[in-house]
Chain A
Amino acid sequence: MKKNLLTVMAAALVCASCAKEMQEVSQLAPEQQTLMTKLVGGSQGELIPGKLLIKMDELTTNELNSGNFSTFNGIEGVKITPALPIQPKNAEIARKYGLHQWFAVEYDVQVKPEAMATRLAGLKQVEAVQYDRYIERIIGGDPVAIDPAVMTRSAAPGDAVPPVEFTQFNDTYAHHQWNLVNDGTVDKSAVAGADVGVKDAWKLTAGDPSVVVAVFDCAVNSVHEDLMDALWKNQAEIDGQMGVDDDGNGYIDDKYGFNFVGCFKLNEGFVNDRLDGKPVAEAVKGNLLNWSAGTGHGTHVAGIIGATNNNGKGISSIAGGTGNGDGVRLMTCQIFEGNKASSDAQSAAAFIYAADNGACIAQCSYGTSTIITEDDIYINGNGKDGNEKIAGSPLENAALKYFLDPANSNHESLEGNMAIFAAGNHSNPYSSYPGALPYVISVTAFGIDYLPAGYTNYGPGSKIAAPGGQMSTSEERALAILSTGVEGCQGGTSPGVFKENGITDAKYVYMQGTSMACPHVSGVVSLGLAYAKKLGKKFTREQFTSMLLTSVNNIDQFCSGTKMYGYTSVSLDQFKGKMGTGAVDAWKFLMAIEGTPTKMVKVGETVQIDLSDCLGGSAETMEYVIEMDKDSKESLGVTADPVIKNGKLEISCSKLGAGKIRFSSAVGKDTTMEGGISDMKFSREISIVSRPYAAANGGWF
């Protein structure tokens, strides 16, 4: 997110020059030392001109909110406004994370940011100062339009599309979507099962309109034939007047979401007084979604999650329903617009908006491009030696926590909300942030061959893997991810790509990246919530996350040998155990949501129980703590503690009975250093029933 954060090399240099810096710090003028104490993050990155963010103490916060700006009497030419729009009904939750204490300071752009930051830090009422900067997107390749004449590399150009029934839906291009159903025939390199495991899951649920997914990205194309019925709709604004906050939610004209980039003066844009002195149409123009600028990245992401299924058009999606208006709903939180990105404060506001307006999943295919190895560096911008300040995002982090808070739950089956991020496309051995934070999901990417994609980040911070595709040229488009696009969008750096090979239909395009892997997990989580609702069940976010992370397939089994990425041969061993717990599987996830899996074992024998449907392949590669309470042991007559051997649970029951076993582990931790990236803990329970006889497949007879 912050362009000039530490790289590994930079970190090494910093360490090497640590002694020198210590000396320099000790020589700072008093006011500069005060700034170092209060500054969160440094001045690196592309700063918003003439704008800073400050956190005030409680007393002054109250004064400012009542119109008393006397604290700033000594600083000329500054304008102080709340950094975020806090709805009165949610003031208490916002207060929990200190969001109400943050203010935006506008000042003359001729004044150097460091100078203004120093002056503000000198005020005793100011608790923290942050430079406001543009966030980073995850850079992926340009979209490549679908060419129905070229199905796979195994088919000769001009061959008819193989008549394979991939899904139960009638969507035109469903048979191109190996990421949904991969039977190993789509391409010669295809591995059956290298998909998201959704085909059978659709028999149980294909989504539910109660699940609102906020897409933090470029705007979702609101007039796309395969998306227009899947949009979250703010009916009061749709039916209302232009330039009027018809629904009173503080946002003007947010029909399908809100443009946090175009609405540049964010702190003023949420209230009607922004219109002062300006024609209404001009003032609110920036609030409207703009999906035409850029590559259609957000439209592509949205299609993977919730393009309408079974409508005889375009693609199938993971949670797009069955064609009866029963898919998930897609809300746009536009934080990118062409080459423009939102600021920290604007992206923070987007999380507030999503929470306040009904989203239960934040789909976030963006993140930092450089390596960050500690949570504290990302959140507070504190360099490892404590004397250096680099880019930090305390405001965005606080807003993210606000979104996740159980008090803001937006789905009846979940306490809290979920945030899912892309791991990044820089082949780094660390996940990007914010995805690496211990309370959100970071998604790595694999290809049609079930191998890690060459671009994917991996390692500490990574939580789970999903299809992201891997193509080297547009001729290999079938190996990437097909989804919805924006006709005629201008943002690609290869403007001719839409015209080659007789391509005429750009409403559906291929893209690749962890940006594409991320919405697969958002889609699966959407299905999970829909199914939990159907079953009348409710979970905490921690429970739900634990089920997601243990309902996986073993991707490590493929991580051996080498693979050619372009002209480079890469050892696959480097990915082993570092892609998260495994590859996401919708079916297994729904099975976990159904209930505690029950394993029947034969009494009087030492048996080995397959755990792959409970823990995925992670049982073979990760360390689990196994807990079995006294009552369960007594009921089953277990005298020797059960253990995991080769991914299987070994247990011996001497009595007929039943009991439970809990497996606990953690993912994402950087085990090579203290502190650093924190882990995400998860656990899973299974039930054991001992019988005199037991079928190997768990059947009752």
Chain B
Amino acid sequence: MKKILYILAAAICLLTSCEKQLKFPEKLYGDWFCHSTSLTSTDVYVYVTFNADSFILYQKIGDGAYRVYNGTYTLTPGADGLYILTGEYSDGTPWGAEYAVLSSSNDTMVLTAGDVTETYTRVTDGIPADVKNSAAPVKSAGDAGKVADGAEGLRFL
């Protein structure tokens, strides 16, 4: 009887943990840090926050400072029980690739795109304040020099 109870308890625990493991998209929500990437040729620091349907991305690549991007994302079920992560930046630029969420637990998430595999670890105490405070917003390169709407015909040309 005791043995049966142990088995039953273990089964319940297993079912419970299985149910948690598969609970998307909530599993994605929160703050993540790119712990490793198969692209190791330069220093890469990426923090990302996934909210219900939006994301905020802080990235520092090479010698630069942090830049902050934001936008929206979609998580859809794919084949073989995988989820597919796609997104678009706020300036309308689509992500460079769609990601397969290879695995995800409370603490880690593995994303793949083509031959690249990236492992993210959950940041439990929030994205560091110095990262957030120092991050510069990304501007479009063509911001300067645009003629305001309706004013073009009035220039001294």
A interface list, Cβ under 8 A from B: 183-185, 188-194, 197, 200, 203-204, 449-451, 535, 553-554, 557-558, 561-564, 583, 585, 587, 590-591, 594-598, 600, 602, 610, 612-613, 635, 656-658, 687, 689, 691-701
Closest residue on chain B to residue A194 by CB atoms: B145
Known: A689-B41, A693-B114, A699-B93. A193 touches B143 (CB 8 A): yes
In contact, B95 and A535 (Cβ under 8 angstroms): no
Tell me, in angstroms, the Cα distance from A154 to B156 when the chains sit together.
14
In contact, A191 and B96 (Cβ under 8 angstroms): no
In contact, B61 and A193 (Cβ under 8 angstroms): no
Say whether B142 faces chain A, with CB atoms less than 8 Å apart.
yes
In contact, A695 and B94 (Cβ under 8 angstroms): yes
In contact, B93 and A557 (Cβ under 8 angstroms): no
Known: A188-B154, A203-B137, A692-B97. A697 touches B89 (CB 8 A): yes
In contact, A184 and B65 (Cβ under 8 angstroms): no
Closest residue on chain B to residue A450 by CB atoms: B145
Tell me, in angstroms, the Cα distance from A682 to B113 when the chains sit together.
39
Tell me, in angstroms, the Cα distance from A600 to B148 when the chains sit together.
31
B99 CB contacts on chain A under 8 angstroms: 701
In contact, B65 and A697 (Cβ under 8 angstroms): no
In contact, A657 and B41 (Cβ under 8 angstroms): yes
Complex partner residue of A687 from B42, B91, B93, B143, CB under 8 angstroms: B42
A-B contact pairs, 27 of them (CB 8 A): A184-B146, A188-B151, A188-B154, A189-B156, A192-B146, A192-B147, A193-B143, A197-B144, A200-B139, A553-B144, A558-B145, A591-B136, A595-B63, A600-B61, A602-B96, A657-B41, A658-B42, A658-B62, A692-B97, A692-B115, A693-B116, A695-B93, A696-B93, A697-B138, A699-B93, A699-B138, A701-B48
In contact, A689 and B155 (Cβ under 8 angstroms): no
B136 CB contacts on chain A under 8 angstroms: 203-204, 590-591, 594
In contact, A598 and B96 (Cβ under 8 angstroms): no
In contact, A193 and B145 (Cβ under 8 angstroms): yes
Say whether B64 faces chain A, with CB atoms less than 8 Å apart.
yes
Say whether B13 faces chain A, with CB atoms less than 8 Å apart.
no
Tell me, in angstroms, the Cα distance from A613 to B144 when the chains sit together.
11
Known: A594-B65, A610-B141. A563 touches B157 (CB 8 A): yes
Say whether B39 faces chain A, with CB atoms less than 8 Å apart.
yes
In contact, B148 and A190 (Cβ under 8 angstroms): yes
Complex partner residue of A689 from B39, B97, B137, CB under 8 angstroms: B39
In contact, B62 and A595 (Cβ under 8 angstroms): yes
In the complex, which residues 69-91 of chain B have their Cβ closer than 8 Å to any Cβ of chain A? 69, 87, 89, 91
Complex partner residue of B155 from A189, A553, A612, CB under 8 angstroms: A189
Tell me, in angstroms, the Cα distance from A691 to B62 when the chains sit together.
14
B131 CB contacts on chain A under 8 angstroms: none
Q: A554-B145, A596-B64 are in contact. List 12 more A-B contacts (CB 8 A).
A: A189-B151, A191-B148, A192-B147, A197-B144, A200-B139, A561-B157, A598-B62, A610-B141, A656-B39, A694-B96, A697-B89, A697-B93
In contact, B95 and A699 (Cβ under 8 angstroms): yes
Tell me, in angstroms, the Cα distance from A696 to B141 when the chains sit together.
11
In contact, B93 and A689 (Cβ under 8 angstroms): no
Q: How far is the CB of B89 from chain A (nearest CB, A)?
A: 6
In contact, B95 and A595 (Cβ under 8 angstroms): no
Known: A596-B64, A692-B113, A699-B93. A612 touches B142 (CB 8 A): yes
A693 CB contacts on chain B under 8 angstroms: 96-97, 113-114, 116
Complex partner residue of A184 from B39, B41, B147, CB under 8 angstroms: B147
In contact, A700 and B59 (Cβ under 8 angstroms): yes
In contact, B69 and A697 (Cβ under 8 angstroms): yes
Tell me, in angstroms, the Cα distance from A183 to B96 when the chains sit together.
31
Say whether B57 faces chain A, with CB atoms less than 8 Å apart.
yes
Known: A185-B148, A193-B143. A598 touches B64 (CB 8 A): yes
B127 CB contacts on chain A under 8 angstroms: none
Tell me, in angstroms, the Cα distance from A449 to B155 when the chains sit together.
7
Closest 4 CB pairs of A and B: A184-B148, A693-B97, A595-B64, A594-B65
Say whether B46 faces chain A, with CB atoms less than 8 Å apart.
yes
In contact, B154 and A687 (Cβ under 8 angstroms): no
In the complex, which residues 83-125 of chain B have their Cβ closer than 8 Å to any Cβ of chain A? 87, 89, 91, 93-97, 99, 113-116
In contact, A564 and B42 (Cβ under 8 angstroms): no
Tell me, in angstroms, the Cα distance from A101 to B42 when the chains sit together.
53
Closest residue on chain A to residue B47 by CB atoms: A700
Q: How far is the CB of A535 from chain B (nearest CB, A)?
A: 7
Closest residue on chain A to residue B146 by CB atoms: A192
Closest residue on chain B to residue A470 by CB atoms: B156
B34 CB contacts on chain A under 8 angstroms: 700
Known: A188-B151, A612-B141. A691 touches B116 (CB 8 A): yes
Q: How far is the CB of B39 from chain A (nearest CB, A)?
A: 6
In contact, B95 and A701 (Cβ under 8 angstroms): yes
Q: How far is the CB of B67 from chain A (nearest CB, A)?
A: 8
Q: How far is the CB of A452 from chain B (nearest CB, A)?
A: 11
Known: A691-B116, A699-B95. A451 touches B41 (CB 8 A): no
Known: A183-B148, A193-B146. A613 touches B41 (CB 8 A): no
Tell me, in angstroms, the Cα distance from A191 to B148 when the chains sit together.
6
A561 CB contacts on chain B under 8 angstroms: 157
Tell me, in angstroms, the Cα distance from A563 to B154 when the chains sit together.
12
In contact, A563 and B41 (Cβ under 8 angstroms): no
Closest residue on chain A to residue B145 by CB atoms: A193
B94 CB contacts on chain A under 8 angstroms: 695
A192 CB contacts on chain B under 8 angstroms: 145-148
A553 CB contacts on chain B under 8 angstroms: 144-145
Closest residue on chain B to residue A698 by CB atoms: B138
Complex partner residue of B139 from A554, A562, A587, A635, CB under 8 angstroms: A587
Q: How far is the CB of A556 from chain B (nearest CB, A)?
A: 10
Closest residue on chain A to residue B142 by CB atoms: A612
Tell me, in angstroms, the Cα distance from A558 to B115 when the chains sit together.
45
